[in-house]
Amino acid sequence: MRYDIVDVPLEIEPLIAAVRGPGAGALVTFVGYVRERADDGRAVDGLSYEAHRDLALAELRAIGSEAAERFDGAVVAIAHRVGVLGLGEAAVAIAVGSAHRGAAFDACEYAIDELKRRVPIWKKERYVDGDERWRENA
């Protein structure tokens, strides 16, 4: 599957397999992990993600189509995890195959930026002090 919302640990290999082909001279991946500090510097002990699955999948497919059109036929695969994640766990993974590296890098950056901007996935940060807060995608 090229686009997925999952509640199990992410695997990059199926995404890579989905975008590799005889015309792909370049392959770029991005994996976003849960880190120990929030943007405001607070210590984090994990994240929770929720998604509107059907709308999120439709939007991921649209982003992939747009990337192919904008970036020389780049092929995109994206998976995002939902549920409770701990430090160091992967929250999002993207693989892009393209004839050339420039298009692959550009399409990968476009995909993560657009995902953050418009896909209905919501993130709650859980802090070491016991507080938690829903965060805007940035």
User: pLDDT digit string (tens) for 43-84?
Assistant: 999 999 999 999 999 999 999 999 999 999 999 999 999 999
* pLDDT at residue 1, rounded to an integer: 67
SS3 letters for the chain? CCEEEECCCCCCHHHHHHHCCCCCCEEEEEEEECCCECCCCCEEEEEEEEECHHHHHHHHHHHHHHHHHHCCCCEEEEEEECEEEECCCEEEEEEEEECCHHHHHHHHHHHHHHHHHHCCEEEEEEECCCCEEEECCC
Q: What residue segments make up the domains of the chain, in order of their start?
A: 3-127
What is the value of pTM for the model shown?
A: 0.96
The CATH number of domain 3-127 is 3.40.50.150: no
> pLDDT of 78-126, one tens digit each?
999 999 999 999 999 999 999 999 999 999 999 999 999 999 999 999 9
